[in-house]
Amino acid sequence: MGRETELPKEEGEEKGEASTLKYIDFLSSVAPDRVCHVCGHDKFVACLSQHGPQTFRVTIPEQDRHPFEDGSEPRLDCYAHFCDRCGTVTFTLKQLVEERTHGDV
Ligand SMILES: [Zn+2]
């Protein structure tokens, strides 16, 4: 009883926070005055989980696919955020966020 103590953070949770910050930092550094291209609103909601930004795998319709020689399917791993007013979803290439650091635009 008595004082509440904070549970030690899971390692994955800390990594999640770091990658969330990296994603937010990326978005604000490449386009600080970002507005929604549909309605002009300037508030967005990032799709996050406790493990950091959620990864969305964007695939190509089966009839249009031309698999790579190694048999893997063409795909893009993306992070996403959506407009707080009209709901337009914007995908950002995960690889680009991972490779860039602040100021390296
Ligand atoms: Zn909008």
Cβ partners under 8 Å of residue 10, min gap 6: none
User: What does the domain layout of the chain look like in residue ranges?
Assistant: 11-99
Inter-residue contact 51 to 15 (CB < 8 Å): yes
pLDDT value for 5 = 63
Whole-number Å distance, alpha carbon 91 to ligand 1 midpoint, is 14
Catalogue the E-assigned strands of the chain. Answer: 44-46, 48-49, 52-53, 56-59, 75-83, 89-93
6 alpha carbon – ligand 1 mean position (Å): 38
Q: Tell me the percentage of the chain whose pLDDT exceeds 70.
A: 80
How many A from CA of 52 to the centre of ligand 1? Answer: 24
Cα 26 from Cα 20, distance rounded (Å): 10
Q: Whose CA is closest to 46, among 17, 24, 22?
A: 24
pLDDT at 1: 52
Q: List CB-based neighbours of ion ligand 1 within 5 Å.
A: 36, 38-39, 41, 83, 85-86, 88
> Greater confidence, 44 or 103?
44
Token output for 23: 């994603």
Question: Model confidence over 46-96: pLDDT tens digits?
Answer: 999 989 999 999 887 777 767 667 777 778 899 999 999 999 999 999 999
Instruction: Give distance in angstroms: CA of 2 to centre of ligand 1.
Output: 48
Identity at 82, one-letter amino acid code: F
The pTM (predicted TM-score) of the whole model is 0.74
